[in-house]
């Protein structure tokens, strides 16, 4: 059972609920987020129902939930959520395209990538300033210098920034630059990091761990939600299987399954799933067709010189096709584009015009 306090509830009112539950033989944990306070109850749920918690001062709602991921479940919120990132919606009515370089390398490379992304209809810019890599000798990102480049590119292009944070100690710094915080696959179960981003006051993109079940993925999202932040977007980015022909195996079925279990938006990363440029567009088509709320793709003006994941980065010709695919397929699955000027025929003209 979960007690949701009103936005203007006081600490004393939350304490009153906790005291009432503990006197009844249960236990309660209080999670104070940026916009709301949530109290989770453990113990005899049937007995809690006799306490009439909904009538207590400061209580907005009392929700009885059977699944372990209580706040992100459809039992908690029947309607699917729309998450806004600096005004850009991600949810059931739109197809949101997030694009940009996997890693911020230089100001020029990032700006050129952002212009390519925007021309193709992207409404959010992805770019990594901190890069957790399998090899300690691989490029690890520019750190705060990369964050400053992203902020400059946002000012130039108007694209809100999505960037990864890898250390709980860096959350405040990254949040001061970013519009959305990304938790990568290697950190999906980094619980101190999940709690830190949950309290940062920014929307969070949570990528599925490469070895994680869907339930484990949703439980990771619950760590963020428990800190009072329900502005979470789930990202399916491929899981590790026995197959070696692709970088990862895109679990396309995870999209409708997660949408059935959770009210959170679900997007797909076709770049890290396939790991090859020639697979990104087919996987993007599959993601749109299955009902993903968005896609996140790598873009680079010169993939052969990229310091990170060059083989999967899209170039100008790929982006023309991606813009056309998104414009054609979105209406067929009941979606509108975030950028309404991108019609099926206008997408190519917009891309060519902005890159000229």
What are the structural domains, with CATH classification, of the chain?
A: 2-63 (3.30.70.1140), 83-355 (3.20.20.70)
Q: Mean per-residue pLDDT for 99-106?
A: 95
Tens digit of each residue's pLDDT (9 = 90 or more) over 14-41: 999 999 989 888 888 787 766 678 888 8
Scored b (16 or more CB within 10 A) or e, 75-102 reads: bbeeebbebebbebbbbbebbbbbbbbb
Tokens of 228: 């009072």
Q: What is the DSSP string of 148-178?
A: HHHHHHHHHH-PPEEEE---GGGHHHHHHH-
DSSP 252: T
Note the pLDDT of residue 309: 85
Mean pLDDT of 319-337: 88
Angle at 339 between CA 336 and CA 345, to 5 degrees: 80
Yes or no: say if 213 and 194 are a contact pair by the CB < 8 Å rule: no
178-225 pLDDT, tens per residue? 999 999 999 999 999 999 999 999 999 999 999 999 999 999 999 999
Judge whether residue 255 has pLDDT over 80: yes
CA distance 2 to 62: 6
Look at residues 89, 113, 121, 169 and name the one whose alpha carbon lies nearest to residue 328.
Answer: 121
Pair of tokens at residue 320: 């023309």
Q: What per-residue confidence (pLDDT) applies to 337?
A: 60
Lowest-confidence segment of 80-89, 137-146, 167-176, 247-256 by average pLDDT: 137-146
Q: What is the mean pLDDT of residues 152-174?
A: 97
User: Which is it for strands 94-100 and 336-337: parallel, antiparallel or unpaired?
Assistant: parallel
Residue 344, pLDDT score:
41
Scan for tokens 């009432």, then name that residue: 20
CA angle 251, 260, 47 (to 5 degrees): 130
Question: Which of the two residues, 298 and 4, has the higher pLDDT score?
Answer: 298
């Amino acid at each position: 059972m979960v007690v949701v306090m009103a936005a203007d509830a006081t600490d004393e009112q939350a304490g009153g609920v906790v005291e009432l539950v503990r006197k009844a033989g249960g236990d309660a944990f209080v999670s104070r987020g940026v916009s709301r306070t949530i109290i989770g109850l453990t113990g005899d749920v049937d007995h809690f129902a006799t306490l009439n918690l909904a009538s207590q001062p400061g209580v907005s709602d009392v929700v009885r939930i059977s699944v372990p991921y209580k706040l992100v479940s459809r039992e908690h919120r029947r309607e699917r959520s729309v998450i806004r990132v600096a005004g850009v919606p991600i949810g059931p009515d739109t197809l949101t395209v997030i694009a940009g370089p996997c890693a911020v390398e230089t100001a020029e490379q990032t700006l050129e990538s952002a212009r390519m992304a925007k021309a193709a209809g992207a409404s959010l810019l992805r770019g990594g300033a901190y890069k957790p890599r399998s090899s300690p000798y691989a490029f690890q990102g520019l750190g705060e210098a990369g964050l400053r480049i992203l902020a400059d590119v946002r000012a130039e292009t108007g694209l809100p920034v999505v960037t990864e944070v890898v250390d709980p100690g860096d959350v405040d710094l990254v949040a001061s630059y970013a519009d959305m915080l990304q938790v990568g696959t290697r950190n999906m179960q980094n619980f101190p990091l999940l709690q830190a981003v949950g309290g940062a006051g920014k929307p969070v993109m949570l990528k599925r761990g490469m070895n994680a079940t869907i339930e484990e993925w949703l439980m990771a999202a619950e760590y963020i939600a428990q800190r009072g932040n329900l502005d979470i977007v789930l990202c399916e980015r491929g899981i590790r299987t026995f197959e070696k022909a692709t970088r990862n195996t895109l679990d396309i079925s995870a999209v409708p399954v997660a949408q059935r279990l959770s009210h959170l938006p679900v997007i797909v990363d076709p770049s890290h799933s396939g790991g090859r440029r020639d697979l990104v567009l087919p996987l993007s088509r599959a993601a749109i067709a299955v009902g993903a709320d968005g896609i996140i793709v790598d873009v680079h003006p010169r993939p052969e010189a990229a310091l990170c994941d060059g083989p999967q980065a899209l170039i100008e010709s790929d982006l023309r096709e991606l813009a056309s695919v998104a414009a054609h397929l979105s209406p067929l699955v009941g979606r509108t584009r975030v950028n309404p000027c991108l019609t099926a025929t206008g997408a190519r003209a917009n891309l060519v015009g902005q890159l000229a």
